[in-house]
Structure 1
């Protein structure tokens, strides 16, 4: 069973991997590669950054841009 919580900096690598999986489908976004964390951080609002976790593993995320 998964839980939803606020995204933490320690989630960055897993969020990046999930993001890249979506990009690889050519459906999720027009981007082809995940931006570096600093760029991701600048381009998304700090409020409402959420991550779905199953134990210690991030299985999904959302954040307004």
Structure 2
């Protein structure tokens, strides 16, 4: 498995994998795929990775800013999506560990994630990669008319911001 950076040229593969995540009903509140322009604007330039193997796109991970306020410049939100054909094969762990490394190389001291309660695999993945559960938001939003809770997880760097 190797990594490439997400760009406009390979965004169609990112969107395809993201669409598979949308279909699960447990990955995001989003219900439509974003354009490249919208996706690009919402993610940090350095934290965008796509896992590939034998010319197959397996999954992607990216970082988003949590606030425009400078005090939160070292805090980012994590997104990890794995292709339906690659789930359960270590792709998520590969992506998340590499994303953590990239975040620390770019002075990010805290990573956070909000995961639907039903998304057990993502919850376990984050815990395995050093995140800790810090709480939850009850009925934080609706997806197709159903209220969803978000479990909140964070990972504090042991090397940046200490």
Normalising by the smaller structure, the TM-score range is 0.7 to 0.9
Q: How far off is 1:57 after superposition?
A: 2.3
Matched, 1:11 2:10: yes
> What's the secondary structure of 1:63's corresponding residue?
strand
Deviations 1:23-53 (A, max 9, x none): 1111110001111111011111111211000
TM-score if structure 2 supplies the norm length? 0.37
Which residue of structure 2 aligns with residue 25 of structure 1? 24
> What's the secondary structure of 1:33's corresponding residue?
coil
Which residue of structure 1 aligns with residue 57 of structure 2? 58
Q: Which has the larger radius of gyration?
A: 2
Q: Greater helix share, 1 or 2?
A: 1
Distance 1:38 1:8 in 2: 11
Does the 8 Å contact 1:11/1:58 carry over to 2? no
Gaps in structure 2 of 5+ consecutive residues:
65-162
Q: How far off is 1:19 after superposition?
A: 0.3
Question: Which has the higher relative contact order, 1 or 2, with Cα contacts under 8 A spaced 6 or more apart?
Answer: 1
CA RMSD of aligned residues (A): 1.2
Does the 8 Å contact 1:49/1:64 carry over to 2? yes
> What's the secondary structure of 2:63's corresponding residue?
coil
Change (3 A) 1:56 1:10: farther
Q: Which runs of 4+ in 1 moved over 4 A?
A: none
